Amino acid sequence: MTKEHEQLLLELTAIPTAAGREGRVVSFINNWLSARDDIRMDADPSGNLTVSFKDPSDDSPPVYFTAHLDHPAFVVERIIAPATLELAFRGGVMDDYFNDARVEVITQDDHSHPGTLVEITEPTTESPYKHYICELDEPSESITTQDIARWLLPAPEIKDGLIHTVACDDLAAAACMMIAFDNIREERAEGKHKADVRLLFTRAEEVGFIGALAAVRHNTIPNDAKVVALENSRAFPEAPIGGGPIVRVGDRLTIFSPRLTDDIARIAEDIAGGPATPKASQKQADMPKWKWQRKLMAGGACEATVFCHAGLDATCVCLPLGNYHNMANLDEAQAGTIENPKPGREYVSLDDAQGMIDLLTACGSRLSDPPKSKTSQRLEDLWQQRRSILDEN
């Protein structure tokens, strides 16, 4: 991965964001867009953003890469006193991580005000989230209810091939699709293809796919589109960090579009020169150097479920994620073998991120009119090669 792309990942994943308060990320994308006069951005009535090419494309169905702009975080619900706030947490994190947790409130002028969570309070009908009293280290008169807060964590860094940062989910995937989109722009400029590839940035995923649900209701995505939702999914031993990007066949709720998933798997296999896992007749040493995985990833749910449920042709590609939702030592916390677990920076592999970029770039040119799927080809080959066995008695 180039230093420029590493820097994009570091910058984007460090931006403060929360469901309903994604403005800083939108500003970053607008700045990125301003240097690219061949593309445009449109917003639907709910603020989901679509990036597309200005010049005419081919007549094939559009291909959408989607990523959400928010990350689990707090919003300032109420100002009780200059040093005492009530915060509401928008996202899914185990209760244990909030005990005496250190947070930072970030004002609209980007000043950080550290504090500590000291008490849980009751949610309201208007704000049905976890509520906490936060005592600031120092009083402030500049904080408003338009501000957000997040865990107080060390600065982002790249170390030992991993990016450790505040919000990989889902801003690392957003960065990957922006880099891939630039690659696709270059291919189009060189006349290699005119595929209609678009980016969709959705809002408020962490509180129940609300931006994606809005996009469906607004018909933001045309009915004939092919939709590739991008995610950061909790890594497991069978889906490890460093094992490559994951072609996700489904999630905790549903299975995604089988043919589209198979088409992306074929593209991944063609890039790698081999399958995701060794056959029984192969050794691990025989596997390709370019790694990819094909997994269910049932530890959570993603926006591909929303799009599939709406009748769209949709699937998911994800990065295996460490410290999911900033929950460090999550396995031990769930097992009850650690007391007072602390939030930590999320992390993903740079090689996995580069693999996602490679895969999305290839999907840009091939997915609108894919070759026959590997599965279909294998079944046809088996029939042609061995159907004579049925003539035996």
| pLDDT tens-digit series, residues 59-96 | 889 999 999 999 999 999 999 999 999 999 999 999 99
What are the boundaries of each domain within the chain?
Answer: 3-71+157-377, 73-151
Mark residue 29 as left, alpha or beta (left: phi above 0; alpha: psi -120 to 50; beta: remaining).
alpha
The answer to whether residue 374 scores a pLDDT higher than 90 is no
- What mean pLDDT value characterizes the chain? 95
Contact 149, 86 (CB under 8 A): no
Q: pLDDT tens, 48-61?
A: 999 999 997 878 89
Max Cα–Cα distance, the chain, nearest Å: 89
> In b/e form, how buried is each residue of 303-324, taking b as 16+ CB within 10 angstroms?
bbbbbbebebbbbbbbbbbbbb
Q: What pLDDT shows up at residue 373?
A: 76
Of 3.40.1190.10, 3.40.630.10, 1.10.3470.10, 1.10.760.10, the CATH number of 3-71+157-377 is 3.40.630.10
Q: Calculate the alpha carbon distances from 80 to 4, 85, 135, 285 in Å.
A: 44, 5, 10, 61
Q: pLDDT tens, 250-303?
A: 999 999 999 999 999 999 999 999 888 876 666 777 777 899 999 999 989 999
Q: Is 140 helix (H, G, I), strand (E, B) or coil?
A: coil
Q: What pLDDT shows up at residue 281?
A: 65
Q: pLDDT tens, 105-122?
A: 999 999 999 999 999 999
Among 250, 244, 227, which Cα is nearest to 367's? Answer: 227
0.75 surpassed by pTM = yes
Give the whole-angstrom CA distance, residue 82 versus residue 64.
46
Give the whole-angstrom CA distance, residue 239 versus residue 216.
30
Say what percent of the chain tops pLDDT 90. 89
Q: What pLDDT shows up at residue 376?
A: 83
What superfamily in CATH does domain 73-151 come from? Peptidase M42, domain 2 (2.40.30.40)
